Structure 1
């Protein structure tokens, strides 16, 4: 007996409903934004999805021909829209064609339906944020655009060309893995950088710290320290931004571990999670001490999509990876821990990825990798406190040292236990 859940007719109707629902979202957005004009709206877009879905379900062999045939009336309608409304934007036309494909995908397979939902949601969001995207594009300086273009070009050209195997000439290093990690780490920073551009000019001190932590916690610390020298009364709010940026380093490291070696994540999540919680509580107390009218600007955050810093990180990562492996061979776990501390003084990302990689290869144990990552995080946290003392006022240095000191103690306690 066929149950309602597995009934083929029920499944077809359910997938049709998914396609129509996605199309309705896109159509409503086009109509409400008045971007569709007389071309297409909340009724027409569901029809596009139904067209694609029914062809895919019952006449899959002629799907490409059916989509091609749809181009003709769409072109005529688009030409009329351009003629009457003097609007030559292609967004709505492309959204209509894509909606037809999404409708077909929902009927193709279960995986196709899931991908259609993801793509449909993404399309709706992209269409909805037209003004913020244009504002973001307009405020990017020419030098920033050129820097991003060069970096992306190098990624697209260099990454596929690099051999994906250990090379004796590079002492056993895998050049593609190294460059892939450069792109990954830079991408994390770039995502936060883009968010910062959307949130300007007004943003809370909490957002300032979080974004600064993902782009560069060191740069944020230096910027906040300099602000307290210019205006000593801001030491509370600047300390909160420094502490928040420093705490963000822990979840950032967890993201890197999850990508490079997911099996290591449960072990690393405990100490870094505890340090994050302790830091958040301490930062919350610090935020409570700040007055509601205290505001700061995040300062100039540099676009992480720059070739020179990316290449520098690649070199540092390669050296750390190579030295850490040999340090373990020659000195055992103590060599790894020493390397983790000194490397962490400069960069946590390189050490986090290195130890995650070595643990995945079986070169070091899970416990050694976890301890090393925590040591690197503690070392880098110490640097933030030192920078606050050296570059900021005594009040800033004292406050940051107390708060981050509590975080460091919690990390050390977990290592001892």
Structure 2
């Protein structure tokens, strides 16, 4: 009996079906949004994918010529679209070409089919959120656009030129790794910043806390503390936002560990996961005690894609990496823990990535790295409580300190155990 999975014909048909399915998905979106008009819709886009898939499978050498030949009827149809609909948008034309290429990619291999599915899904999402994207672009100020453009340009220009090896001139540091971590950490904040632009303030202070925690939990804490000095009755809802922003730091650290050293993740996930759960429960209790008429307008978050803060983080990260390595050599684990605490007072990301890296290289043990990361997180959490005391009202400081104190205690207990 022939195994249907191993049958070459069945495999070809399955991959072809994936391509046609992606074409149908994109075609339905184009027709539903009425962007395709007379140009193409739910029937034409699957045919584009089928065209690309069949040529790729049976005439692979002819694929570039086939894609080029497809440009001719697309150009004619595009000219007619301009003539009769007065629409000069190129989105549907590019989607048609990309659909044919996706059909070809789906036929390449199993990996190609997965890539086609991911890219096809991304294309569909991008096509379907046209209005929010345009609204987001229109609302960005000129200074914000320039800041993002400069940052992206520096990333694209600088990254390929950086050596991907330890340099004696930099005391053994790998410049490309450091810059990659700068881009990664800044990217996390930028994703949250973009999400914030799509959300209305009315969607809740919880969203503000979560987004603020990814962009800057310290800035969120300062903002909420200042609001209580303006209106003391808001201390409950502001405390809730501070706690949410503070505990978001823990899953953020887990994401960084998973990227830099996945093998360390199970060890770090236990204490940080527990602190996240305890903090979430405590935040829920705070929210439950918040009266329904308590509202607070969140401040506008600044764009994390700014060059100066990114460069500053790179310098801090490099220094933390150097100090941590030498602290371990000179003072052993106690030196690592002291460095983690002091570094955590200012920034958790740098210490989290540093210890994950050192553990991956075998410089320190998994236990030392886990303990150091938790110590840095605890130190940063204590800073949030201190800021609530110093910049906010007495009630805010007391409430935040109690809640975050319980969170810190849960982490310490798990470290001792």
Q: TM-score range with shorter-chain normalisation?
A: over 0.9
Deviations 1:320-369 (A, max 9, x none): 11111111111111111011101100000011011111111111111001
Q: Within the alignment, does 1:104 sit opposite 2:108 as a pair? A: no
For 1:273 and 1:336, how far apart are their aligned partners in 2? 22
Shift of residue 297 of structure 1? 2.1
Q: What aligned pairs does 1:75-90 form with structure 2 within 5 A after superposition?
A: 75-90=75-90
How many angstroms does 1:219 deviate by? 0.2
Q: What residue number does 1:346 align with?
A: 346
**CA separation in 2, counterparts of 1:293 and 1:27?**
46
In structure 1, what is the equivalent of residue 39 of structure 2? 39
Partner residue in 2 for 1:405: 405
Partners of 1:170 and 1:33 lie apart in 2 by 54
Question: Is the aligned partner of 1:275 residue 2:259?
Answer: no
Deviation at 1:201, TM superposition (A): 4.1
C-alpha distance in structure 1 between counterparts of 2:184 and 2:74, whole Å: 40
Aligned 1:285-300 pairs, distance under 5 A:
285-300=285-300
Following the alignment from structure 2 to structure 1, what is the Cα–Cα distance between the partners of residues 131 and 208? Answer: 23
- Provide the C-alpha distance between the structure 2 equivalents of 1:395 and 1:415, rounded to a whole number of angstroms: 30
Residues of 2 paired with 1:3 and 1:164: CA distance? 46
Q: Deviations over 1:6-60 (max 9, x none)?
A: 2222222222221111111111110111100000001111111111111112222
Task: Give 3-state SS (helix, strand or coil) of 1:166's partner.
Answer: coil
- Could you tell me how far apart the structure 1 residues matched to 2:330 and 2:307 are? 34
1:101-130 CA distance string (max 9 Å, x none): 111111121111111111110000000000
Query: Where do residues 233-382 of structure 1 align in structure 2 (5 Å cutoff)?
Result: 233-382=233-382
Tell me, in whole angstroms, the C-alpha distance in 2 between the residues paired with 1:24 and 1:18: 10
- Give the deviation of 1:146 after TM superposition: 0.5
Secondary structure of 1:202's counterpart equals helix
Q: Distance in 2 between matches of 1:201 and 1:211?
A: 12
Give the equivalent residue in structure 1 for 2:415: 415
- 1:200: Cα distance to partner? 3.1
Relative to structure 2, which stretch is displaced further, 6-15 or 90-99? 6-15
Task: Tell me the distance in 2 between the aligned counterparts of 1:366 and 1:201.
Answer: 42
Q: What CA distance in whole angstroms lies between the structure 2 residues aligned with 1:117 and 1:225? A: 46
Instruction: Tell me the residue number matched to 1:21.
Output: 21
Q: Tell me the TM-score normalised to structure 2 length.
A: 0.98
Distance in 2, matches of 1:79 and 1:136, equals 30
Superimposed CA distance per residue, residues 116-149 of structure 1 (whole angstroms, 9 cap, x where no aligned partner): 1111100000000000000000000000000111
Partner of 1:392: 392
- What SS does the corresponding residue of 2:164 show, helix, strand or coil? coil
Separation in 2, partners of 1:79, 1:334: 72
Counterpart secondary structure, 1:297 = coil
- 1:281-303 CA distance string (max 9 Å, x none): 11111111112332222202111
TM-superposed CA distance for 1:168, in Å, is: 1.4
Conserved 8 A contact 2:344-2:375: yes
How many angstroms apart in 2 are the aligned matches of 1:5 and 1:179?
44
Give 1:385 deviation, angstroms: 0.3
Q: Residues 57-106 of structure 1: CA distance to partner in whole angstroms, max 9, x if unpaired?
A: 22222111111111101100100000111100000000000111111111
Moved more, 302-311 or 161-170: 161-170
> Contact 2:201–2:298 (CA<8 Å) still a contact in 1?
no
Cα RMSD between the aligned structures? Answer: 1.0
Q: Once superposed, which parts of structure 1, at least 4 consecutive aligned residues long, lie more than 4 Å away?
A: none
Deviations 1:254-294 (A, max 9, x none): 01111111111111011101111111111111111112332
Aligned partner of residue 363 in structure 2, secondary structure: coil
Unaligned runs of 5+ in 1: none
Secondary structure (helix, strand or coil) at the match of 2:202 reads coil
1 CA distance for matches of 2:372 and 2:169? 28
103-112 or 349-358, which moves further after superposition? Answer: 103-112
d(CA) in 1 for partners of 2:52 and 2:166? 47
Question: Per-residue CA shift, 1:204-249, capped at 9, x if unaligned?
Answer: 1111111000000000000000111111111111111100000000
